[in-house]
A and B are shown apart, each in its own frame.
Chain A
């Protein structure tokens, strides 16, 4: 197998290759480190590469294989983690200069579970400051999309999208508040899943919005997402809001097919005037594939859905302003201008308006869950178009109308964060310019298995996931 093929090999296959002693964890780690050395000066997926410890862990993993030890489900798999998760002995910046030297003395629970499953931490991944979009001067390098480096890579699990797409790791762990996994997954052409809030522990995750933050996988295949989801899901005594429900075997459930599955395509997105033609066509074509496989596909209305972006930003910016209040008051210049201005503006909103925003959030939840009573999954574009150019992402000169339109565009992922339901983005095509297009599949609370099954059915009957970015 040539090196590039090995780098892009799904985790589910790498696990077996390691067990069969056809590939060693040391070989894998060295290969991904070489790829990081080769590409990451341009892409800036990583904030920190844990070169020495990764190699040491790989040697230990290799020894365990040689000894015939019992191996975990991710034994020897090099994984990279968003720099929002605490990692014991490895600096955790949260994308800010203020935490440039912060080295936690414990792991986030999701990281602990990956390590216990045998994964090797390859490094920490780039993200906008504090997880808020709008960072202008990226402290750890301007991230670039591996499909076209003039384009952005999405946010805020930015490095996860890049690293998974360009095979700078076997898989990544991201965090999603309002679309932070699904947006970069969509822009970079990989699979990214936000689970139900309460399905995976938030312990050790530097917070953005307590009632929406979730940990989830960013991978090149749906099966890999299922494998990582199975590893990180489940009750955690350190996060009292994690559900005590048993965790299904998401991998074993992938092959159930979609015959008879009720699929609702959310109409408002296609009537909004925001959607790029190529994106709309690709998502429609993808749902037609599900229809040919036996799903019952219909249109469904969620009337409030395009208000989600502004509702989400009012909550997220206010929440972040509280999280970063000390810095806002005492050291505002240490914050990047973009997030700082977002938080300052949110701090000036009337309390009565915020109360109304939370009421509206619940009304939207009710509309989404009503749709999910009639349909097993909902489908939408993950974003209204492909990744924009990096210079277009600058917002300093935007008007009020520009901002409102930007929030409406963010209404593709944020409704399902507000409703606390699981949602997955996966590639379903490419624009004529060669940029990935993402389709989003949304499920009922704790319905991750159904979402993954539908995604797997589409993936195995399409080829969008087989393309590789030119910069890899």
Chain B
């Protein structure tokens, strides 16, 4: 998804655009968390997702053992 981590300034700009009140106190950890998501979810790009539907993975009663 991304190779270069977002800076706190970039995260603050994103939050401002989305109307989210990210305080100066929260910004460092929010930045770490956004970057962790982007980095941690990057392996999803390697998965064969083209034919997978994005619907919740709910069971159906007929699948009962």
Closest to A398 in B: B32
* A100 interface residue (CB < 8 Å to B): no
Contact B61 A446 (CB under 8 A): yes
Contact B65 A446 (CB under 8 A): yes
Q: Known contacts A211-B56, A362-B52; is A445 also within 8 Å of B65 by CB?
A: yes
Contact A314 B59 (CB under 8 A): no
Contact A347 B18 (CB under 8 A): yes
Contact A359 B64 (CB under 8 A): no
Interface secondary structure of A, over-half rule = helix
Q: Known contacts A314-B37, A403-B36; is A360 also within 8 Å of B65 by CB?
A: no
Interface string of A320-338 (1 = CB under 8 A from B): 0000000011001000010
* A151 interface residue (CB < 8 Å to B): no
Stretch at the interface among A34-42, A253-261, A417-425: A417-425
Contact B63 A444 (CB under 8 A): yes
Contact B11 A444 (CB under 8 A): no
List which A400-441 residues lie within 8 A (CB) of chain B: 400, 403-404, 407, 418-421
Contact B21 A353 (CB under 8 A): no
Contact A340 B26 (CB under 8 A): yes
Contact B54 A358 (CB under 8 A): yes
Contact A404 B36 (CB under 8 A): yes
Q: Which of A241, A348, A362, A398 contacts B20 (CB 8 A)?
A: A348
Could you say which residues of chain A place their CB within 8 Å of the CB of B54? 355-356, 358-359, 362
6 contacts between A and B (CB under 8 A): A337-B29, A360-B47, A363-B48, A365-B57, A403-B36, A407-B40
Q: List the 7 shortest-distance A-B pairs measured between CB atoms, nearest first.
A: A345-B33, A445-B59, A446-B64, A358-B54, A365-B57, A403-B36, A310-B40
Q: Chain B residues in contact with chain A, CB under 8 A? A: 1, 5, 11, 14-15, 18-23, 25-26, 29-30, 32-41, 43-45, 47-49, 52-61, 63-65
